[in-house]
Structure 1
Amino acid sequence: MRTPLVAGNWKMNGSATLAEAFGHAFTEATLPEGLEVVICPPFPYLEAAQRAFDGTPLHLGAQTLNPLHSGAHTGEVSGRMLGEFGVRYALVGHSERRQLYRENDEQVFDRLLAALSVGLTPALCVGETLSERDAGHTMEVVLRQTGFVMSRLEPEQRQRIVIAYEPVWAIGTGRTATPKQAQEVMAAIREHQARHDHELASGLRLLYGGSMNADNAAELLAQPDIDGGLVGGASLKVDDFLAICQSAS
Structure 2
Amino acid sequence: MTERTVLLDYLDELLGSERFRDACPNGLQVEGQSQVEVIATCASVSLDFFEQAVEEGAEMLLVHHGLFWHGDSRVIDGWLGRRLKILLEHELNLVAYHLPLDAHPQLGNNACLARLAGLVDCHFDIGYLDGNAIGCRGVLEEPLPLEDFVEGLSNEIESPARVLGLPPRGPVQRVAVISGSGGTPALLEEIARAGCQVLVTGEVKEQSVALLREMGLVAVVLGHYNSEKHGVVACGDHLAERFGLSVVHVDVPNPV
TM-score (norm 2): 0.26
Question: Which one has a larger percent helix, Structure 1 or Structure 2?
Answer: 1
Question: Which one has a larger percent strand, Structure 1 or Structure 2?
Answer: 2
TM-score (norm 1): 0.27
> Could you say which structure has the larger radius of gyration?
2
